[in-house]
Amino acid sequence: MKLKTYFTGVLTLGLLLSCATNPFTGKSTMALPGTENSTLFPAAFQQYNQFLSENNVVKGTSQAEMVTRVGQRIAIAAERYLNANGYQGYLKDYAWEYNLVNDKTVNAWCMPGGKIVVYTGILPIAQNETGLAIIMGHEVAHALANHGQQRMSASMLQQIGAVGLNVALQNDKNIGLYNQAYGITTSVGGMLPFSRSHETEADQIGIYLAA
């Protein structure tokens, strides 16, 4: 019975799988239900607002203004690149937002839809606006290239064998996984790792966005 249930889940999964396109490589990538932008963006915006309400957001300082300034520049660079390469409208549902959070954690992240957080703990490493642009460009690149979506899909696939497809795809059971997939944590060890190819790709895209 267990074997039959497993194969039923696998067959069902095959029917549910869809693909997303990486606009920087043109390659198709796997996307499970619940990880497409139409689902991720509303969830991301809600999670982002909740995160801000629970953390100390820095406003009105020169550092906060720098984060906003760099973020806006990266958003413009991303749109320019995408428009020039046949992806007009790719960012139409993005609602860019840039916030500095007072936390000693060395981290920064970008959620689906352009929701960015930079921790004050990473500013000494960035040193200046150029360094911050490289860091933020890298994080935005992960979002634009759908790396978090791929990471979450892979993690959900790993769960299927243990808990069954019907459980693995329940959104309310995956909030922790969602936060891990997009780096929304104050514990670096709590994040799901990006693959080496994802990191290399984000480095290359990020440098362009930061230029």
The answer to whether position 101 is within a domain reads: yes
The answer to whether position 174 is within a domain reads: yes
Q: What letter would DSSP give residue 90? A: T
78 lies in which domain range? 2-9+30-210
pLDDT in tens, 79-138: 999 999 999 998 999 999 999 999 999 999 998 899 999 999 999 999 999 999 999 999
The answer to whether position 24 is within a domain reads: no
With contact defined as beta carbons under 8 Å apart, do 43 and 171 qualify?
A: yes
Give pTM, 2 decimals. Answer: 0.74
Give the residue numbers marked as catalytic. Answer: 139
Q: Residue 206: which of 74, 57, 110 has the closest Cα? A: 74
Please give the tally of structural domains in the chain: 1
The answer to whether position 15 is within a domain reads: no
pLDDT greater than 50 at residue 10? no
The answer to whether position 182 is within a domain reads: yes
